[in-house]
């Protein structure tokens, strides 16, 4: 009987270790019951995991190939405070750049090895302070209706100083979240002309929009025109224009955010533009 109990405990431990190891990317499926906890009508329930290096920005390449197209998200202003979002958060790419505030508030339970019921303001490893994260990638296999697969840095940011690893070892946890305005102090809306752009094809990544933080439409005006030409969403936060003529630079770009507010960056891409280059505007929401 004793041997049987030990075997059962060992099997349970192995299953939990396998579960914790499995959650290491934006695309690992496991079925869990969704939490119904709600303590504040302004917050919504979600679940959170983390992946990549414990102090990294998620992917091994620090997010430069994420589903949104953002580059070097380990550096300011993203500073690795990033997350994959499942479809209700990613919104087929239109949620790229959205900012959310998260609190680790709900119930965490791992049988046999770990059994905690925590509220972050009371748990010894948690600071109790909400942190802001930015959607920079897609999570294809959610564990709940809303699922944030956070970078190791963002997950650990909820902890008291020196106790980040302790919180990260929790694995899958329930959280609450709410949408908050994005704020990039000192930054203006920036456009990155993507590799492969040429005189008849232009692809542009849009970054650092205050407020909604996302873009639902981009339009381009050529130097020899007085009208706007709609660009098409390529993928993530990258927009493209396939032209049947040689495009005349400099280009002005007009962006529209989720709230319908528009912003015009006049002649932001110069006549001598080159691919794989950032062009910073002088405008901001």
DSSP per-residue string spanning 86-128: -HHHHGGGTTTT-EEEEE--S--B-SSS-B----TTTSTTB--
114 neighbors 13 (Cβ within 8 angstroms): no
pTM of the model as a whole: 0.71
173 shares a domain with 50: yes
DSSP per-residue string spanning 137-166: EE-SS-SSSSEEEEEHHHHHTTBPTT-HHH
Residue 62 corresponds to which tokens in the numbers above? 């620090």
Residues of the chain above pLDDT 90, percent: 32
Residue 14 located in a structural domain = no
**Of 191, 171, 182, nearest in space to 265 by CA:** 191
Rg value, the chain, Cα: 22
Residue 1 located in a structural domain = no
Residues 43-82: tens digit of each pLDDT = 777 888 888 888 888 876 655 557 888 888 888 888 888 8
Least confident of 139-148, 227-236, 260-269: 139-148
196 shares a domain with 172: no
Measure the CA–CA gap between 279 and 275, rounded to whole angstroms: 11
**Residue where a domain stops, chosen among 154, 179, 204:** 179
Whether residue 7 has pLDDT greater than 70 = no
pLDDT at 134: 86
Whether residue 279 has pLDDT greater than 60 = yes
**Phi and psi angles of residue 10, each rounded to the nearest 5 degrees, phi first:** -65, -40
206 shares a domain with 165: no
> How confident is residue 102, by pLDDT bands cut at 50, 70 and 90?
low
142 shares a domain with 47: yes
Measure the CA–CA gap between 123 and 68, rounded to whole angstroms: 34
């Amino acid at each position: 009987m004793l041997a049987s109990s030990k075997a059962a405990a060992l099997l349970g431990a192995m299953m939990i270790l396998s579960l914790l190891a499995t959650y290491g990317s934006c695309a690992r499926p496991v079925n869990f019951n969704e939490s119904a906890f709600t303590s504040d009508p302004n917050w919504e329930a979600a679940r959170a995991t983390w992946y990549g290096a414990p102090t990294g920005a998620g992917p091994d390449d620090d997010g430069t190939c994420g589903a949104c197209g953002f580059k070097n998200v380990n550096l300011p202003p993203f500073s690795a405070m990033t997350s994959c979002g499942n479809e209700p958060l990613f919104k087929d790419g239109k949620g790229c750049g959205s900012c959310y505030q998260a609190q680790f508030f709900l119930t965490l339970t791992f049988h046999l090895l770990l059994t905690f019921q925590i509220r972050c303001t009371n748990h010894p490893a948690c600071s109790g302070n909400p942190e802001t994260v930015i959607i920079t990638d897609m999570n294809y296999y959610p564990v709940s209706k809303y699922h944030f697969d956070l970078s190791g840095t963002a997950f650990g940011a909820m902890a008291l100083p020196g106790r980040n690893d302790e919180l990260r070892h929790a694995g899958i946890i329930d959280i609450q979240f709410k949408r908050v305005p994005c704020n990039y102090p000192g930054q203006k809306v920036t456009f990155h002309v993507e590799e492969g752009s040429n005189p008849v094809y232009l692809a542009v990544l849009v970054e650092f929009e205050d407020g909604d933080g996302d873009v639902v439409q981009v339009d381009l005006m050529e130097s020899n025109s007085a009208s706007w030409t709609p660009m098409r969403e390529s993928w993530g936060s990258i927009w493209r224009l396939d032209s049947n003529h040689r495009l005349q630079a400099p280009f002005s770009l007009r962006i529209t955010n989720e709230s319908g507010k528009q912003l015009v960056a006049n002649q932001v891409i110069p006549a001598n533009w080159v691919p794989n280059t950032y062009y910073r505007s002088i405008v901001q929401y």
